[in-house]
Amino acid sequence: MKTIKESLTESKDLITEFYTLADMKVTLLDYPQNAYKTLVNMGMKTWGDKSNKWEDLTTEDRFFVVKQILQKKVLPLAVEHPVFSFAVDHIDRSSFDQLARARLGIVFASKGQKDDYLDSLGFVIPTRLVGTKYEAAIKSHAIRSKELYHEMQQDNIPNWSRRCILPMYSEHSFIFSANLMAIQGLVSKRLETTEQEGCVAFSLLVREAIKTQYPLLTNWLRPSCDFAKRDMTSAYNGFSDIVSVPHSSDNRQPGYDKTKYPPTWDEPCSDMLAIEKMLNVTLPKEWNDNILYEELEEIDKDRFNAQ
């Protein structure tokens, strides 16, 4: 075991590792003991006198209520209660900056760069550039930035000054906690391929982490275009349309009008198939809104049966 001081002390050895999207890691740190029980009691509280309705319901009725909540057929307050916590490692700093814009129902604790020693900081190579003629030059540039960082450290230049030369794709890590509603909103937006690949990969891995404990919930963690059943590219282009640099669609859902805003970029920001392959994760193409209790995985059934 380490002391507090030892666990807070960073290495001053000059080490530079390179990562790809395949190295990103999302770990589920904490989760509700039984989110389904909470959803049922919160979702049904506005009717009747008794608060703990879970104990009076059959297993099938509990499942029915949870489906009504997930399908947004009742008040949304129930999905604001279950909270999940995650650790995220080997993501690029620019993707973190995108994700940290989320505010409601979510909190972030990020690795600092102001006072921390960053001598062992690594770099993420975007998938689009892996294996190209630019990869060697990118690595050389990153290594030189670290060498310069280290040189300034030897001259006692404070970290908050010398960090200025570190690239945007510096490898990063953070922890976040979010309620289920916040996770649904974050994942549905960031699974669109108008998002950069780090955000898409993050969202896929968050789904996978939750699936280890609550497979049913991940059926409602999907791209917004799958909820809408239409392409959402133009809806998310925003100012990109105005300045005439819109993203292209991945054509996951029909409805993208490529004649309205001819794309400057002839490919989506993220290649979903490539990301799935690198992460060994598959995003469903079809979603079962009418899933039956018999189709649930055993870990879900155990929770619906719990007292």
CATH, residue 135: 3.30.1360.170
What is the distance, to the nearest Å, from the Cα of residue 93 to the centroid of all Cα atoms in its chain? 14
Domain that holds residue 104: 4-32+82-229
More confident residue, 209 or 53: 209
Query: Of the spans 49-58, 116-125, 149-158, 218-227, which averages the highest pLDDT?
Result: 218-227
Distance CA 228, CA 13 (A): 50
Is position 24 within any domain?
A: yes
Is position 102 within any domain?
A: yes
Q: Is the pLDDT of residue 58 over 90?
A: yes
Q: Is the pLDDT of residue 198 over 70?
A: yes
> How many structural domains compose the chain?
1
Distance CA 78, CA 70 (A): 9
Q: Is the pLDDT of residue 279 over 90?
A: yes
Residue 257: the pLDDT is 79
Name the pLDDT band for 40 (thresholds 50, 70, 90): very high
Residue 263: the pLDDT is 64
Q: Is the pLDDT of residue 181 over 80?
A: yes
Is position 273 within any domain?
A: no
Is position 73 within any domain?
A: no
- Quote the strand ranges of 24-170, DSSP E: 25-30, 83-92, 106-110, 123-124
Identity of residue 61: D
Query: Torsion angle, CA of 208/79/89/146, rounded to 10 degrees?
Result: 140
Is position 64 within any domain?
A: no
Is position 10 within any domain?
A: yes
**Would strands 123-124 and 18-19 be described as parallel, antiparallel, or unpaired?**
parallel
Number of other CB atoms surrounding residue 117 within 10 Å: 15
Identity of residue 172: H
Question: pLDDT tens digits for 268-277?
Answer: 889 999 999 9
Is position 164 within any domain?
A: yes
Question: pLDDT tens digits for 87-100?
Answer: 999 999 999 999 99
Contact assessment for residue 121 and residue 16, using Cβ atoms and an 8 Å cutoff: yes
**How is residue 204 written in tokens?**
């896929």
Q: Is the pLDDT of residue 6 over 70?
A: no
**Would strands 171-179 and 25-30 be described as parallel, antiparallel, or unpaired?**
unpaired
Rounded average pLDDT over 20-25: 97
Is position 293 within any domain?
A: no
State whether residue 166 is helix, strand or coil.
Answer: coil
Rounded average pLDDT over 32-52: 90
Q: In Å, how far are 194, 221, 224, 261 from 231, measured between CA atoms?
A: 11, 17, 9, 14
